[in-house]
Chains A and B, each alone.
Chain A
Amino acid sequence: MDSPLELELRELLGGITPLPPDFTSDTDLLDALALESAQIMEFVMEVEDRFDIIIDQRQLAEVRNIAQLAAVVGKAVA
């Protein structure tokens, strides 16, 4: 079951690129979406502004899905 934070992140991502019907918070972002680097940057900046946080790009190196991103955002918000 997706958390409210995960749902919000998915909504933001959906504004950047169409999400496939079977997309979940565990879907591998790179494999499933073929995001360009500019889209990834745009998504990160959208997330930062939505939650009034700032995310070091190095923290994102290990992030492969929305669930993992939610953990990073949750830590920054706390």
Chain B
Amino acid sequence: MSLLAKFAAVDEARRALGEADPARTVIERLESATLGIINGAPTILAGTNNYLGMTFDEEAVEAGRDALTEAGTGTTGSRMANGTYAAHVALEAELADFYGYPAAVVFSTGYAANLGALSALLGTGDAVLLDADAHASLFDGCRLCPADLYTFRHNDPASLDKRLGRLGDRARNALVVVEGLYGVLGDRAPLADIAAVKDRHGACLLVDEAHSLGVVGAEGRGVVEEAGVMDQVDFVVGTFSKSLGTMGGFCASRHAEVALFPYASRPYMFTASPSPATIACTRAALRTLRARPDLKQRLWRNANRLHQGLSQLGVDVGEAPSPVMPVRLQQREAALAAWNGLLAEGVYVNLFLPPAAPGGGSLLRMSVSAAHTDDQIDCIVAAVAKVMKAIGASG
């Protein structure tokens, strides 16, 4: 029983959340990309990563349906064995073309892409410097490798510069790892400054654009594009599960050696490849992303509308609008009450309790979609106003 004893504390913490367990919220039915049925009630989905509203994209749905019919339900194997179909290779070529890089590799999830890229790159004697607020998958990927692991202060090029300097000549064997747009607070990495620092020390730079693909940059290529550093960044990783509305991940690079990652990456080798339908939906979604810049414009219009509405309530949502909008609440009980209150008002958001929120405290993470209507955004603002008043908090 000793192996299972640790779960008593988990169970106790879970029970303390009360009847509604945010980690086990069930969306009973989906009405659209932004409306679901939760606890039997229509609920606006303001806590997804469906930034472009792509999950019901007609072309993607049709492509997936066709692939199911033509290629079956799954590949039953690893990319290294029987799990590479022509469509997987085509998607890799299309991603490389999208970034203007020589090659890209497709992984089964975004998590696997981070583990797979990092474990392929980092060996004994190498060093990796990770932004302290980086996603868990990036920490896990670094821990999978024998390289020395260091952290630097979040979004602080000077902190990175000092640490690379302390590495001396070893900096040439160092990989700097950051996110483009951070998925909890919605803030952007100062990529131009970070790229300049890593160049000065001869290091490499990997940017996770999970939350910024299709969301930031003139062509939707992320913060690397917006910051004008596509020819300085060494590796871009990303996921299909947010703006593209499917599943899977990728690593694209200006270095052709990225095509050799599959031979050195256990997270690539030892898992089944994405299903034909998943790949077909992703390819269609990528085509839509490239052909319809209006989706990104609509997303930012909605982000601005929500930011303005919440700011007028006196809620602290930061100075700059972002598709990821955190509402900080220092008290855990207030955050839990607010989360429950919003759900009762028909608005689903994400809840981050300690220690999950960067900088401590608790927060509600709201995310915006291009598919939200003006009415839905206004309903979200009205629900926040009501709930904040009920719990006696304004930010």
Contact = CB atoms under 8 A, between A and B. Distances in A.
A48 B132 CA distance: 14
Interface stretch (A5-13, A25-33, A35-43): A35-43
A45 B154 CA distance: 11
Nearest to A55: B150
B150 A38 contact: no
A71 interface: no
Nearest to A36: B355
Give the interface SS of chain A, mostly helix, strand, loop or mixed: helix
Contacts of A42: 132
B132 A45 contact: yes
Given A36-B355, A38-B355, A54 B166 contact: yes
B166 A38 contact: no
The contact size tier of chain A is: 10 to 19
A54 B354 contact: no
A44 interface: yes
A37 B151 CA distance: 12
Interface in B161-176: 162-163, 166-167
A44 B355 contact: no
Interface footprint category on B: 10 to 19
Contacts of B153: 45
A45 B159 contact: yes
Nearest to B170: A54
Contacts of A58: 148-149
Interface string A37-78: 110011011001100111111100000000000000000000
A68 B230 CA distance: 43
A53 B360 contact: no
B166 A52 contact: yes
B358 interface: yes
Interface string B59-86: 0000000000000000000000000000
Given A57-B149, A57-B151, A58-B148, A38 B162 contact: no
B148 A56 contact: yes
Contacts of A37: 355
B124 to A, nearest CB: 12
B152 interface: yes
A72 to B, nearest CB: 13
Contacts of B166: 48, 52-54
Report, nearest first, the 5 A-B pairs whose CB atoms are least far apart: A36-B355, A56-B148, A54-B166, A57-B149, A41-B132
Given A38-B358, A57-B151, A58-B148, 16 more contacts: A36-B355, A36-B360, A37-B355, A38-B355, A41-B132, A41-B151, A45-B152, A48-B163, A52-B162, A52-B166, A53-B166, A54-B163, A54-B166, A54-B167, A55-B150, A57-B149
Interface of A: 36-38, 41-42, 44-45, 48-49, 52-58
